[in-house]
Amino acid sequence: MPDARKPLISGNWKMHLNHFEAIQAVQKLSYLLPKKVFGTVDVSVHPPFTDIRSVQTTIETDRMEILLGAQHCHHELNGAFTGEVSPAFLAKLNVRLVIAGHSERREVFGETDDDVNKKVLAIVAQGMTPILCVGETLDEREAGSLEAKVSGQVTAGLAGLSPERVGDSVIAYEPIWAIGTGRTATPEDAQAACALVRTTVASAHGEDAAQRVRIQYGGSVKPGNIGDLMAQIDIDGALVGGASLDPDEFQRIVQWGVS
């Protein structure tokens, strides 16, 4: 399991990088990151499904300390689900973390809170760590619905997990209006939303789980804003999209606290 005491910086490569490019990206990232960094921060990369085996082999052959992640999975272990991927298949590839309920899965592919919860339970059952994504649209934010939307997604997404499992999980707050737009929530706004996430966890699963769960911020994270974001008390890491595709830029994000 990833170390729940460390910040977690995750690179979501989305539908970018074929397996040759993914190998090159993870090799360069590993080369750029000094080994001492991994004593203070966990780093994961989440390539497309077609790249996972290649990236796994590269990480394990070169004994990298980078964690292998996936972007999505189905909640069933097998069956007639053409185009989907079983969480059991990912576990066999030594995938450590799986994103569940990313805003693009919710907004573009219509995943519901119930769908996301089933995935979270399936990910945990296979011994992997879920990164549960929550967040509001611009319309919801302007209508004053942020608290109801985010707390509702957190509560629904973690339903059925024990407090211990909740504490081992990761929750990524990603304001939908800030993803890929160049807009970023202010550090204060991000802190307020992440504090809401932690309070929601405490209400449903207890204070211990709330203090142990890692909360990431996601939404146009870059080297220029990572320091201010990570200075916030309830932000324990970042879910990075476009900036993670460039190993030079991503390593600067990972090493935000290194002088």
**Global confidence as pTM:** 0.96
Helix/strand number for the chain, H first, E second: 12, 8
pLDDT tens, residue order, the chain (259 aa): 555 579 999 999 999 999 999 999 999 999 999 999 999 999 999 999 999 999 999 999 999 999 999 999 999 999 999 999 999 999 999 999 999 999 999 999 999 999 999 999 999 999 999 999 999 998 898 899 999 999 999 999 999 999 999 999 999 999 988 776 777 789 999 999 999 999 999 999 999 999 999 999 998 899 999 999 999 999 999 999 999 999 999 999 999 976 4
- Both tokens of 238, joined, read 């970042």
Q: How far is CA 163 from CA 97, 152, 156, in A?
A: 18, 17, 14
In a domain, 3, yes or no: no
In a domain, 209, yes or no: yes
Structural domain that includes position 168: 8-254
In a domain, 1, yes or no: no
Residue 32 DSSP class:
H
Look up the CATH number of the domain holding residue 230.
3.20.20.70
Q: How far is CA 49 from CA 34, 62, 93, 144, 156, in A?
A: 28, 21, 11, 37, 26
Residue 66 DSSP class:
P
- The answer to whether 220 and 178 are in contact (CB under 8 A) is yes
In a domain, 2, yes or no: no
In a domain, 259, yes or no: no
In a domain, 16, yes or no: yes
In a domain, 57, yes or no: yes
In a domain, 169, yes or no: yes
pLDDT given for residue 258 in this prediction: 66
61: phi then psi, degrees, rounded to nearest 5: -65, -40
pLDDT given for residue 105 in this prediction: 95
pLDDT given for residue 3 in this prediction: 58
Structural domain total, the chain? 1
Q: What is the DSSP string of 226-251?
A: HHHHHTSTT--EEEESGGGGSHHHHH
Catalytic center residues? 102, 174
